[in-house]
Amino acid sequence: MVREIPEITAAAATDLWDTYALPRRPVVVRGLFRDQPIADAATVAGARRLLGAAPVLIKEEYSRSFAGDGQAPEPELASLDDYVGRYGDEPDSGRVVTEWDVPPTLLELFTLPEFCRPQAPVHDLFLHAFLAGPGNYAHLHFDQDQRHVLLVQVFGRKRVVVFPPSASRWLHPFGNLGSVRLQGMAPAERDAFIDLAGGMQTILEPTDALFMPLLVWHFADYVDFGMSFNIRFRRNAHNRFLSADNFAGDRYVQAVSEPFGAVRVGDPLPADLAAEFARITAVHDADHPDREAKYRAMRATFRDVARQRGDGADPVYVFPLDDMDERQAMLGMRDTFRYRPDGRSSADMMVVDDRPAAGSQLRMVRDLVRRHGYPDSLFARVLANKFAKATVEELSRGEVARLVAYLQSPSGLLRAPVTV
Ligand SMILES: [Fe+2]
């Protein structure tokens, strides 16, 4: 039998930050959204009534396109109703909505849990929606943004398997992907493997939420046609620095970064983490002849720190993927600012820009909101759930820039464009 992820009631979730997030323990909160309007979207019929016109971008499941033959169909912008009609009941369609900026009509249906609300300027919020038919899956991976995640089930059931970062040696990682294909295993084999590698699983029902700490390995599959969304929250300044903003995520970056999630806002780092962080920033800020040299120096440092901790041990399997990791990172560097030898210093990167928004930005937001026809109450929910702010004047410059991008994107539409 596979271990189940521990469960708590909605009432007990008030202590989630101290009891589960800082100690980095996953937990299922049953019925967390049971008393909210989103509970009326707990069936396909209810979701169509409340969210049928919502825009969704239909794509190929991403590990398939990663491993595919280059023939992936183009993403299509459609409505949730279109998705239901075309793919809803189709098993294993491979056509999914994934990491889709949550549309306003969904933001209108819930209240942000207290434990997700930012406690400091460095804390930010990102929300993404997921929609797929039965048999679809999200391949085993960890998220490189280093935020905590609350995964909320809207309708249908979703099975989620999690492994702690310390399980990496069993998962034969390549970058942030596991090479182990849980979706290809027979049930008994899969259960035995999850047990062996120290994983746990759960089945989320509508209105349930799963808290996943930063950098945890996760795999999900759709038991039914289902929809969920996630809230990504409370990343501290150290994890922001160590995230994919600056470094190509691999199991060493994961192992080194994860314990920083235990540090409370305003607290100094404990001595061991402070020494490690100083070592990492010293290499980051040193002179390097070029990006490749900087990448190799950083990777060697993360690997060393992980090994000195006794973490990041070599995989149990026989294929060393380090060379592939390095080649992939080199390719990834072609279109990113990461590893620039003349880039900003780590001290500069730790500072958060929380200057207030400019007047021209605020005018642009008001103009876009009027053109979209958002009612005032809906715009208030958008501000409350995307930024935990009550008015547009409270947003920082960076937040307004994100809001403008959202309002200019298809995600921000009240209704998907009609497709013929
Ligand atoms: Fe993920």
What are 282-304's pLDDT values in tens digits? 999 999 999 889 999 999 999 99
Distance 230 CA to ligand 1 centre (A): 9
Q: Write down which residue in 298, 315, 349 finishes a domain.
A: 349
Distance 176 CA to ligand 1 centre (A): 10
101 found inside a domain: yes
Distance 98 CA to ligand 1 centre (A): 10
Look at residue 50 in the predicted model and tell me its pLDDT.
Answer: 97
Distance 141 CA to ligand 1 centre (A): 6
What sign results for the dihedral spanned by CA atoms 283, 288, 294, 297? Answer: negative
Q: Is pLDDT larger for residue 225 or for residue 174?
A: 225
Q: pLDDT tier at 53 (50, 70, 90 boundaries)?
A: very high
Q: How far is the C-alpha of 50 from the C-alpha of 228, rounded, in Å?
A: 15
Domain at 153, CATH number: 2.60.120.650
333 found inside a domain: yes
Look at residue 144 in the predicted model and tell me its pLDDT.
Answer: 96
- Domain range for 266: 237-349
- CA-nearest of 43, 29, 47 to 202 is 29
Does residue 56 carry a pLDDT above 80? yes
CB 220 within 8 A of CB 158: yes
18 found inside a domain: yes
* 156 plus 246 within the same structural domain: no
Each as own residue / partner, the long-range contacts of residues 182-188 (CB below 8 Å, 24 or more positions apart, any chain) are: 182/137, 182/140, 182/219, 182/221, 183/137, 183/139, 183/219, 183/221
Distance 359 CA to ligand 1 centre (A): 36
Distance 142 CA to ligand 1 centre (A): 6
Averaged pLDDT, 382-395: 97
Distance 411 CA to ligand 1 centre (A): 19
418 found inside a domain: no
* 41 plus 182 within the same structural domain: yes
Distance 336 CA to ligand 1 centre (A): 21
Distance 144 CA to ligand 1 centre (A): 9
Averaged pLDDT, 393-414: 96
- CA-nearest of 211, 245, 158, 247 to 18 is 211
117 found inside a domain: yes
420 found inside a domain: no
Does residue 328 carry a pLDDT above 80? no
* 202 plus 226 within the same structural domain: yes
Look at residue 330 in the predicted model and tell me its pLDDT.
Answer: 79
CB 32 within 8 A of CB 208: yes
1 found inside a domain: no
* 94 plus 142 within the same structural domain: yes
Q: pLDDT tier at 62 (50, 70, 90 boundaries)?
A: low
* 253 plus 372 within the same structural domain: no
Distance 152 CA to ligand 1 centre (A): 13
Min mean pLDDT across 294-303, 307-316, 370-379 is at 307-316
* 158 plus 286 within the same structural domain: no
Q: Write down which residue in 301, 316, 349 finishes a domain.
A: 349
CB 150 within 8 A of CB 110: no
Does residue 67 carry a pLDDT above 60? no
Look at residue 74 in the predicted model and tell me its pLDDT.
Answer: 86
* 18 plus 154 within the same structural domain: yes
* 163 plus 301 within the same structural domain: no
Distance 46 CA to ligand 1 centre (A): 26
Averaged pLDDT, 111-132: 96
Does residue 337 carry a pLDDT above 80? no
Q: How far is the C-alpha of 162 from the C-alpha of 171, rounded, in Å?
A: 12
* 68 plus 195 within the same structural domain: yes
* 126 plus 222 within the same structural domain: yes
Distance 24 CA to ligand 1 centre (A): 16
- What's the total number of domains in the chain? 3
* 74 plus 193 within the same structural domain: yes
* 241 plus 228 within the same structural domain: no
419 found inside a domain: no
Instruction: Read off the amino acid at residue 68.
Output: G
Distance 34 CA to ligand 1 centre (A): 24
Distance 166 CA to ligand 1 centre (A): 17
